[in-house]
Amino acid sequence: MTVHISINGLPVEAEEGMTVVEAGKLCGVDIPTLCAHPRLKPVGSCRICMVELEGGALATSCTLQVREGLAFQTETPRLVEMRKAILELLLDDYADVGYAAGDHGMTEFERLLQRYGVKRRIGSPARLPHPINADPNPVIWVDMNKCVLCTRCVRACAEIQGRFVWGVAERGHRARIVPGSDTGLLEARCESCGTCVACCPTGALDDRMSVGAGKPDQVVSTVCNYCGVGCRLNLNVRNGRIIRVTSDESSPVNGLQLCVKGRYGYDFVHSPDRLTRPHVRRYLLENRVRPAGGRDELVPVDWDTALAIITEKFGEIKTESGPDAIAVLASAKCTNEENYLIQKFARQVIGTNNIDHCARLCHASTVEGLVLCFGSGAMSNTMDDVARNAQALFIIGSNTTEQHPVFGTRLRQAVIGRGIPLVVADPRRIDITEFATLHLKHRPGTDVALLNGIMHIVIANNQHDRQFIDERCEGFAEFREMIASYTPERVSEETGVAVQDLKRAAEIFSRNRPMAVIWSMGITQHTTGVLNVMALGNLQMLLGNMGIPGGGVNPLRGQNNVQGACDVGALPNYFPGYQTIKDEGVRAGFNAVWETAGEVPFELDAAPGLTVTEMIAGAGEGRIRGMYIVGENPAMTDPDAGHAQKNLAACEFVVLQEIFPSETSAMADVLLPGVSWAEKSGTFTNTDRCVQLVRQAVDPVGDARADWMIVAELARRMLEREGRKPEGPQAAWEYCSPGAIMDEIAAVMPIYAGIRYERLEREALRWPVPATDHPGTPILHVGRFTRGKGRFQITEHIPARELPDEEYPFILTTGRVLYHWHGAEMTRRAQALSELYPETIVEISPEDAVKLKLDGRSTVRVTSRRGEMIARAMVTERVCSGLIFGNFHFPGAQNVNNLTIAALDPVARIPEYKVCAVRIEPVDRERVNPPI
Amino acid sequence: MHPKTLVHRPVDPEVVEVIRSLGGPDAEIVQVLRTLQIEHGHLNSHLIAEVARELHIPDSRVYGIATFYSMLTTPAPPARTIRICDGPYCMMRGAGDLICSIQARLGGSWTITRTSCLGLCDRAPAALVRDSQVGPLQLEHLDRYEIGWCGEVSDYRRPRPGEIRALLPDPAQADDPLESAFTKGQFPALKKALRMDGVALLREIDNSKLRGRGGAGFPAGKKWRFVASQQRKPKYVVCNADESEPLSFKDRVILDLCPQLVLEGMAIVAHAIGAEEGYVYIRGEYGTQVQRLLGAIAEAEERGMLGTRIGGTGFSFKVHVHQGAGAYICGEETALLESLEGKRGEPRVRPPFPADRGYRGQPTVVSNVETLATVPKIIARGSEWYRGLGNPNSPGTKLYTLLGEVNRPGLFEAPLGISLREIIENFGEGMRTGSTFHFALTGGAAGTLVPPELLDVPIDYDSGARGVSLGSGGMLICDQSVSPLRMLRELVRFFELESCGKCTPCRNGTYQSRKILDRILEGGGGSDDIVRLNQLATLLRETSLCGLGMSVCKPVHSALQYFPEAFERGRLAAQQGAGL
């Protein structure tokens, strides 16, 4: 409702519910504020923002809401005097010794002082009340001498991050801001996200790595390169180096929020370990065959030499063994444009569908399962929609606050702020369970049974959405018959979840609609991954939660651009835009657009190619003679890593395009230096299908080149060697910029048809975007499923492949931790992150720790049928007895993938990372090598 | 990640047990901390961390609370603590010297600290010895306090000449069946109220023109009517028994003499507005009164006057007692509600007012002990009777606490609208021999310094504008031996120590004002200091978030207006090294 108010005598129309500060902004009146912050609930404590109401009363404009007829003045002499007096009072307790003077233009507080002409005392006082560098946190700098007690940090931590680390201690003039019970930040459970720093108006909290780094020459807005949430962030660059990451209120996905990796994990870009020149094995330079003992030394060479060797070798293999003897691994870390080129290279230039990427290892089962249920494999709603509109949340198999931290905090906010119920199903007591109404601690590998059990109760209570099922779904009768045998008692037996908890979950979902289900690797990385996903599809159809705001199926994609890499066709069975290669019409279309003229008539491969896991196995068997791996590290991240390494070692010719030498480089014949996300432009597509611009901030290091340039150059050379000339409209490889590649993508895949860089400069677009005037599609399956009717699927419970026995009595489940990213090639080289989490840790329950005589300082050897790892044992209630958890962030003897099993889901070919059987024994710390 | 997270430790069994005994997950955090402190003498970081773990709340919140309330102690002093009151009257009665001499006598075996006014002014100098009320504190009796002796207790059962007792029991009326029903806790007014509806009850209260007795004087009927009009449920009735205004101890006396009146008043208001639950927020220093109250609640429940289906009607009302832990600010209604919710007692920004969003965000009545205790009398005897007492603007009677250099200090009940002169002459039986009236402090620390020329101003809720605050009814009469400047410094220091620290003007303004007064008293002050003091007081009045900060201006401005020469003299005297 519009209300009429008067600001400084001028009539203004404002919206009811707005605060006076907001109303002022609306008409360009800048009311000074200090404790108020647009993202935080107002507390009205600093008193700077007071305005003078008609009649002379003063009121804080950050808390006062406008009402019809409200009239006020914002800058009367009385107000100016009052603000001066308050600023002077604040200055009495403020001391800035000036070390950060060169870093910022001016802090918010300094701008206020300047605006009201309040002079700061020059020089530092004789005795500072607080130490200047007060906290050992490796990323957050604390100098309480500059604190003005606005409590923004306290509120930011509570309201935005949901962590409650900062608090106010004591009272009156002695009141001060402290972490926890006046301990250090980390001891007070700080996640080091830096949101408090972003909210601090004085520099009392600062980014430690940036203190004294100076003012940036330029600030580049781009997208984070870690997880699939797709936070926008600003790279602050000075003299060609990133000196700070800042966040910005206007970001569509994250606003001011970033996680510890996004805000503080950037320094790997400038790591001395970076690959700066192409390298080839000496035998290749000397034109010899590979030595029998294995690969010889890597020699730095120029680009021409390296690319010539690759062209020659791939050409040779193709001629001798056919295109299917070559396999290409694209990268979920690369841009859409690059992935499009990589798959085009495989299909058009090499002539094979042997193109895949790490989506195989994370969400292949999601894509397959959801396509079967609904016809489309992506997240159906947006993160923002879920956080704002869901009436209940169901997190199953997603450690959201650690793996998708910024979305995790949005969920915390939804629980705290809107009071909606949250059900978490996870074998571990992960952090988000602190906010859960109900935690279902089911046994690993029993998701289908759990979900069937809940659905059984929903149907038994007649709480299923009959109308939705009748109108929009099919296969319900068979489904209902299947689910009948999943009685609560049976399911309780299978899953270890009490019958009453199953009932409570069913009741929560029945009473609070729409419910949004959120999942990740805990659902997908099983031999039953596709079944798990389909069971979730069934649940959401049963409850009528599809195609509406606040509901939907919400798989959280792992990598920054895994969604995009899938979208643009880096998959063995799909052309760009999920156009299936089996479809002749589709194939004919791509034959036309990518056509080249040469000796052999142009014809795209009609058979689906190999998946990641099959490629690696094929390399071991000799079926795959050549591999082109872009930005992946299969030697570390594939299950049963020892076996994967053997297979790769056996491969005849491996090209690895990377930014660091990795575990896989030992098996590479040629190393090509690609660049990090900060050194190139393009687009990433985040987990909720939002396509965003990535902008280059710094020059590539050394001779490194943007991946799209390398692939295009290689393609040109290969085509030239084979005497083929591009004929089709999108067949050529001459690109002046990533924008031109996007134009080509838009031309060949309808879901991106309307996406243009000019549009992305202004707006966030969520595919499908069928036309340049189409606004994008935040919610899928509205009114109709992509496949027409939603299909209830038959999902019977099948136990995990390898279960514990006498010899291997523990279940091992794996995953990631907040501070590292996947193989951690980047985060281990980010100084602060490796300081925050320096070594591999396995989680073990207090009960088992007692049995094994472990105390939290112990090192253990964990052994499976496939290998062993050495790790620090953390004793924690996060896991229950019989279960241990390990991460795959550390290489060599610390790698949990030495243990995991390469058992695959029969449909999606995804490995069962989440369940295998292991045994544990303490080892002497001294024997750990390398020393931890 | 902190190394501590690698090690698993079960929660300290002692903490688990304390929390279990106090209600498990619903245990009030302040009570948990107080209980642990009784055992340990202080709260260390281990206890704080364990309480946080067991209650599943952040460390920062527990620590914030443990360091906010004055009765909670975080560093580790020896187990036995004497908190000596340094309220204005106790200071006049030598509390400052006592602190020094007791310190010297008891040394390391006890911890001697100062504390803000304990509400034991009639037993000055007063103290809390291991949280028990003691007074007057005398050096020669130190060993007796340890075994439970608490000094002399004042007796207000009998009225003094001239008193009109509408609220307090009047032995002269002991034969009146209605009055004896009151004193016997039979809740005659509640029985009558249960036969009336909310509208009629509130009309009675409106008609009585009862105004809030906490000090602000807001019309009680208007406040309660607003809560009654709210549709949202549940609603709450909160009795503000956090009496912490220096010089005021009337609520303590009510709770000692007639706690059942307070409960009956709460029940009547609850019935009128549609509440089923009530809380008495009582200051932590009133341990004895907590026991009185709990006894009265048990008795009332036994008689069926509290609890479910009271008097066989559909009305149920349950009363809980919440003990504070030492914070003047918690007398401010929104700070009280925050504290009641288990947080630091920091005031909320208003609006919304408690009547709209109070306890747990629900419509809430917050009223003073004296106000609520008056309600049964009004309902039983009728509003006309009540309005007939006192003056037309501020009808009814009021409890006054008279202190200082008069012949008969103490508490009495009298109509509103009497002047200081009447108070001194008629109720205090005149100034003490050798004492001449120099000034009075009326209305507590948040009151006014009153010069002789205002002795005849009738005192009521509107007389503050004429220089004489009523406040909660505390009156301190000072003779020529007391310096208004030094008195002012004590008052400002009180505000400084009791400021919650949330808003800038109060947090820093009270501190700066006290420093200025120190400077003047120590002889280092300049005339610009006096100007600055005046400006700060105005800033506090205009910009403070709550009444605490706003009221600092009352003593400052009145002192500057009526005793300018004291500042000048103070400056000169200090420079010459003379005492005050």
Q: What is the pLDDT of residues A298-330, one digit of tens each?
A: 999 999 999 999 999 999 999 999 999 999 999
User: Which structure tokens are listed for B471?
Assistant: 């406040």
Same domain, B225 and B210: yes
Residue B77 confidence (pLDDT):
58
User: What CA–CA distance (Å, rounded) separates A337 from A678?
Assistant: 15
Q: With bands split at pLDDT 50, 70 and 90, how would you rate the model's confidence at B574?
A: low
In the numeric block, which tokens belong to residue A135?
């906290």
The top-level CATH class assigned to A810-927 is mainly beta
Q: State the CATH architecture for A364-555.
A: 3-Layer(aba) Sandwich (3.40)
| Inside any domain, residue B161 | no
Query: Residue B571 has what pLDDT?
Result: 65
- The domain A132-270 is placed in CATH, from the list 3.40.190.10, 2.20.25.90, 3.40.50.12160, 3.40.50.12780, at 2.20.25.90
Pairing of strands A392-396, A515-519: parallel
Let me know if B58 is exposed, middle or buried by CB neighbors in 10 A (0-12, 13-18, 19+): buried
CATH of A279-361+561-766, one of 3.30.450.20, 3.40.1110.10, 3.40.50.740, 3.40.630.30: 3.40.50.740
Long-range contacts of A802-805 (CB under 8 A, 24+ apart): A802/A865, A802/A901, A802/A903, A802/A912, A802/A915, A802/A916, A802/A917, A803/A445, A803/A915, A803/A917, A804/A882, A804/A917, A805/A917
Q: In chain B, how many domains are there?
A: 5
Q: Say what angle helices B198-208 and B259-273 make with each other, to 10 degrees.
A: 120
Q: Kindly identify which residue of chain A lies nearest to residue B65, measuring between CA atoms.
A: A169
Q: 3-state DSSP: chain A helix, strand, coil percent, rounded to 5?
A: 35, 20, 45
The mean per-residue pLDDT over the stretch B525-545 comes to 92
Q: How far is it, in rounded angstroms, from Cα B28 to Cα A701?
A: 59
Please give the residue of chain B at the shortest CA–CA distance from A846: B8
Concatenating the DSSP letter of every residue in B282-342 gives E-TT-HHHHHHHHHHHHHHHHTTSSBSSGGGSS--BEEEEEE--S-GGGGSHHHHHHHHTT
What residues of chain A lie within 8 A of the CB of B45, using their CB? 181-183
Buried b (16+ CB within 10 A) or exposed e, A33-64: bbbbbebbebbbbbbbbbbbbeeeebbbbbbb
B560 contacts: CB under 8 Å, gap ≥ 6? B530, B533, B534, B537, B567
For range B9-15, the mean pLDDT: 93
**Cβ of B6 and A857 within 8 Å?**
yes
Question: Residue A125: CB partners within 8 Å, gap ≥ 6?
Answer: A95
Arch. (CATH architecture) of A2-89 = Roll (3.10)
B468 in the same domain as B334? no
The residue of B8, B116, B348 whose CB has the most chain A CBs within 10 angstroms, and thus the best one to mutate to test that interface, is B8
Residue B432 DSSP symbol:
P
Helix (H, G, I), strand (E, B) or coil at A176: strand
Inter-chain CB proximity A181 and B63 less than 8 Å: yes
- B475 shares a domain with B406: yes
Q: Determine the pLDDT at residue A856.
A: 77
**Same domain for B309 and B452?**
no
Chain A partners within 8 Å of B535 (Cβ) = 85
pLDDT confidence band for B485 (50 / 70 / 90) = very high
Measured in angstroms, the CA of A178 and the nearest CA of chain B are apart by 7
Closest residue on chain A to B545 (Cα): A45
Q: How many other C-beta atoms lie within 10 A of the C-beta of residue B302?
A: 11
pLDDT band at B578; cut points 50, 70, 90: very low
Note whether B432 and B405 are within 8 A (CB): yes
Are both B240 and B123 inside the same structural domain?
Answer: no
Same domain, B351 and B489: no
Across A758-809, where does the E strand assignment appear? 765-766, 790-791
Which of A220-234, B244-258, B355-369, B511-525 is the least confident region?
A: B511-525
In one-letter notation, the amino acid at residue A462 is N
Closest chain A residue to B549, measured at CA: A172
Q: Which amino acid is at A480?
A: R
Structural domain containing residue B441: 397-479
Chain B residues close to A50, C-beta within 8 Å: 543
Are the beta carbons of A780 and A378 closer than 8 angstroms?
yes
Q: What is the pTM of this model?
A: 0.93
Peptide bond into B171 cis (omega under 30): no
Tell me, yes or no, whether B164 lies in a domain: no
How far B35 CA sits from the closest chain A CA (Å)?
19
Q: Which amino acid is at B441?
A: L
The confidence score (pLDDT) of residue A928 equals: 43
The mean-pLDDT minimum among A11-15, A836-840, B6-10, B559-563 falls in B6-10
* Cβ within 8 Å, pair A89-B504: yes
Which pLDDT band, with edges at 50, 70 and 90, does A102 fall under? Answer: confident
Closest CA to B118 of B281, B259, B288, B263: B288
State the best of A164, A173, A889 to mutate against chain B, taking most chain B CBs within 10 Å. Answer: A173
Strands A883-887 and A868-875: unpaired
pLDDT > 90? residue B110:
no
- Based on the fold, state whether residues B380 and B401 are members of the same structural domain: no
Torsion, CA A646, CA A649, CA A650, CA A655, rounded to 10: 140
Q: Quick check: is B443 in a domain?
A: yes
Contact A191, A201 (CB under 8 A): no
Which of A50-54, A170-174, A288-292, B30-34 has the weakest average pLDDT? A288-292
Residue B154 lies in a domain: no
pLDDT, tens digit (0-9, with 9 covering 90-100), for B296-306: 999 999 999 99
CATH at residue B125: 3.40.30.10
Q: Do B59 and A169 touch (CB under 8 A)?
A: no
Domain boundaries, chain A: 2-89, 132-270, 279-361+561-766, 364-555, 810-927
Kindly state the DSSP code that residue B211 receives in the 8-state scheme.
B
Asked if residue A231 lies in contact with residue A686, where contact means CB atoms within 8 angstroms, the answer is no
Distance from the B330 Cα atom to the nearest Cα atom in chain A, whole angstroms = 12
Closest approach of B350 to chain A, Cα-based (Å): 9
Residues B339 and B413 in one domain: no
Same domain, B507 and B564: yes
Looking only at the bridges linking them, the beta strands covering B318-323 and B277-282 are parallel
Residue B392 domain-assigned (yes or no): no
Judge whether residue A932 has pLDDT over 50.
no
Q: How far apart are CA B287 and CA B282, in angstroms?
A: 9
State whether B449 and B402 are in the same domain: yes
Inside any domain, residue B176:
yes
Give the strand pairing for A553-555 and A515-519: parallel
Residues B284 and B355 in one domain: yes
* E strand residue ranges, B507-564: none
The residue among A880, A3, A100, A109 whose CA lies nearest residue A426 is A880
CA closest to A832 among chain B residues: B1
The whole-angstrom distance between residue A355's C-alpha and the CA centroid of its chain comes to 23
Q: Between vectors from CA B218 to CA B213 and to CA B221, what angle results, nearest 5°?
A: 95
**Mean pLDDT for chain A overall:** 94
Contact A89 B512 (CB under 8 A): yes
User: Tokens for B156?
Assistant: 């207000």
CATH code of the domain covering residue B546: 1.20.1440.230
Question: Cα separation of A694 and A737, whole Å?
Answer: 13
Q: Which chain A residue shows the shortest CA-CA distance from B55?
A: A434
Burial class (CB in 10 A: 0-12, 13-18, 19+), A254: buried
Task: Transcribe B17-29 into DSSP letters.
Answer: HHHHHTTGGG--H
Q: Is the pLDDT of residue B580 over 60?
A: no
> If pLDDT is split at 50, 70 and 90, which confidence band does B76 have?
low
Residue B319: inside a domain, yes or no?
yes
CATH number of the domain that B252 lies in?
3.40.50.11540
pLDDT tens string B428-446: 999 999 999 999 999 999 9
Residues B253 and B380 in one domain: yes
Question: What are the contacts of B428-434 at 24+ separation with CB within 8 A?
Answer: B428/B402, B428/B477, B430/B406, B431/B405, B431/B406, B431/B407, B431/B477, B431/B479, B432/B405, B432/B406, B432/B407, B432/B479
Pick from A274-278, A426-430, A691-695, A852-856: least confident:
A852-856
pLDDT digits (tens, 9 = 90+) for A782-802: 999 989 999 999 999 999 999
DSSP structure string for B56-109:
T--HHHHHHHHTTSTT---S---S-EEEEE-SHHHHHTTHHHHHHHHHHHHGGG
**How far is the alpha carbon of A318 from chain B, nearest alpha carbon, in Å?**
50
- Three-state DSSP at B474 gives strand
A chain contacts of residue B67, beta-carbon cutoff 8 Å = 169-171
Tokens 């009677």, located at residue = B397
Give domain status of residue B422, yes or no. Answer: yes
pLDDT for residue A636: 87
Angle at which helix A738-748 crosses helix A336-344, to 10 degrees, equals 60
Q: Give the DSSP letter of residue B5.
A: G
Interface contact A178-B63, CB threshold 8 A: yes
CA distance B439 to chain A (A): 29
Burial of A69 (0-12, 13-18, 19+ CB in 10 A): exposed
Q: Give the tens place of pLDDT for each residue, B411-433.
A: 999 999 999 999 999 999 999 99
Taking the C-alpha atoms of residue B92 and residue B87, their distance in angstroms, rounded to an integer, is 9
Q: Which of B448, B479, B510 is the last residue of a domain?
A: B479
